[in-house]
Amino acid sequence: MTVTIYDVAREANVSMATVSRVVNGNQNVKPSTRKKVLEVIERLEYRPNAVARGLASKKTTTVGVIIPDISNSIYSEAARGIEDIATMYNYNIILANSDQNEEKEITLLDTMLGKQVDGIVMMSDSVTDKLHHIMKHAPVPIVLAGSVDESNDLPSVNIDYFQASYEAIQLLINNGHKRIAFLSGPLAYTINSKYKLEAYKKALQDANIEIDEQLIISEESSYDSGIEAWETLSAIENPPTAFFAGSDELAIGIIHGAQDDGKNVPEDIEVISFENSKLARMVRPRLTSVAFPLYDIGAVAMRLLTKIMSKEKVEDKVVILPHRIESRQSIKL
């Protein structure tokens, strides 16, 4: 029924080995016989069976990608970066959502390894010890993208979250604010607890501003949480005049909450965000935001993976991409 390498070998009066050679671009084939084989392939519409090839060669040219949630733009941006580079190097991608659930992550790693992927790109907001151990001992290379492994002994690509956050908070401090709120997603996520929040505390301390736990809110990283945060924070005794938001949605929630209460941004309150998705330009005022270059992180992570898979030398497996702050109108200059 389906045509195999054997069929074209027979039709072309050569051996399977020769057909295999032309299919794989091996140079040790006389041009005339290559031509003959190619013709038969075309005529018979032969399509190599990648599964058989994978079994024989022990390479599948597919890599696994595990991300928390593809429907979240943060991750889908990264996924696009990963996929583009994968395509460039002729890999396909098996994509799966973990919902940031350790058990799913482990199951997913297992089924992907079972499918004999040649490597894995993983995004996880919380690399547990168990996960770390599994990744460390996996039979194929795994690189973390936009995900922090505190022991730093797994290949990964990130930006300097601490420094970026610190700079953002400083902008607020420099504009004279003493009451600065900190909003982020769950502190169970390493980036939030160990970098954004720590940077916030350090920045305030360095400026001799007292830390008020009331001003620190960690919830879901969503628009509605932003609105809620505004509601609770605007009602306290000495409400904040500036906000550091861990994501664009959070920032927009705050802004809309404030505007619905008749406040003006940035005149009455200032807001800086950490993400810079395309949403940042789709609000009024447009968001000033730390740029979190997800596409690049994904792309670089995949590129790193291709290098490791092909056993190229890589100087540094822990890469830190540069960051910047995109100035727009949600804070004063």
Partner DNA sequence: ATGAAAGCGCTAACAG
Partner DNA sequence: CTGTTAGCGCTTTCAT
Question: Considering only residues 209-228, where is the footprint of a second copy by CB under 8 A?
Answer: 223
Q: How many residues bind a second copy (CB under 8 A)?
A: 51
Say if CB 256 and CB 150 are below 8 A apart. Answer: no
Residue 158, Cβ density class (10 Å: 0-12 exposed, 13-18 middle, ≥19 buried): buried
Nearer to DNA, 28 or 90 (CB): 28
Question: What minimum distance in Å lies between the beta carbon of 106 and a second copy?
Answer: 13
Interaction partner, residue 16 (a second copy, DNA, none; CB < 5-8 Å by kind):
DNA
Nearer to DNA, 56 or 333 (CB): 56
256 in contact with a second copy (CB under 8 A): yes
205 in contact with DNA (CB under 7 A): no
Pairing label, strands 325-326, 288-291:
antiparallel
Nearer to DNA, 7 or 326 (CB): 7
34 in contact with DNA (CB under 7 A): yes
139 in contact with a second copy (CB under 8 A): yes
d(CA 214, CA 35): 75
**Region of 167-175, 193-201, 234-242, 275-283 interacting with a second copy (CB under 8 A):** 275-283
Interaction partner, residue 28 (a second copy, DNA, none; CB < 5-8 Å by kind):
DNA
d(CA 295, CA 272): 21
d(CA 52, CA 99): 33
DSSP-assigned beta bridge partners for residue 143: 121
Say if CB 283 and CB 247 are below 8 A apart. Answer: no
> Which residues, including other chains, have CB under 8 Å from residue 62's CB and lie 6 or more apart?
91, 92, 93, 94, 115, 117, 118
Tokens of 10: 């027979």
Question: Considering only residues 5-64, where is the footprint of a second copy by CB under 8 A?
Answer: 47-52, 54-55, 60, 62
d(CA 81, CA 84): 5
The residue ranges of DSSP E strands in the chain, in sequence order, are 62-67, 92-97, 119-122, 142-145, 156-159, 180-184, 216-218, 242-245, 270-275, 288-291, 318-321, 325-326
Interaction partner, residue 223 (a second copy, DNA, none; CB < 5-8 Å by kind):
a second copy
Interaction partner, residue 18 (a second copy, DNA, none; CB < 5-8 Å by kind):
DNA
Hey, is 270 helix, strand or coil?
A: strand
23 in contact with DNA (CB under 7 A): yes
Q: What is the DSSP letter of 281?
A: G
Interaction partner, residue 118 (a second copy, DNA, none; CB < 5-8 Å by kind):
none
Interaction partner, residue 10 (a second copy, DNA, none; CB < 5-8 Å by kind):
none
97 in contact with a second copy (CB under 8 A): yes
Say if CB 146 and CB 123 are below 8 A apart. Answer: yes
Interaction partner, residue 163 (a second copy, DNA, none; CB < 5-8 Å by kind):
none
Nearer to a second copy, 203 or 265 (CB): 265
In 3D space, the residue among 167, 168, 159 whose CA is nearest the CA of residue 191 turns out to be: 159
71 in contact with DNA (CB under 7 A): no
Interface residues with a second copy (CB under 8 A) are 2, 47-52, 54-55, 60, 62, 65, 69-73, 76-77, 79-80, 83-84, 87, 92-97, 110-116, 139, 223, 249, 252, 256, 259-260, 278-279, 281-284, 295
Interface residues with DNA (CB under 7 A) are 2, 4-6, 13-18, 20-21, 23-24, 27-30, 32-34, 46, 48-49, 52-53, 55-58
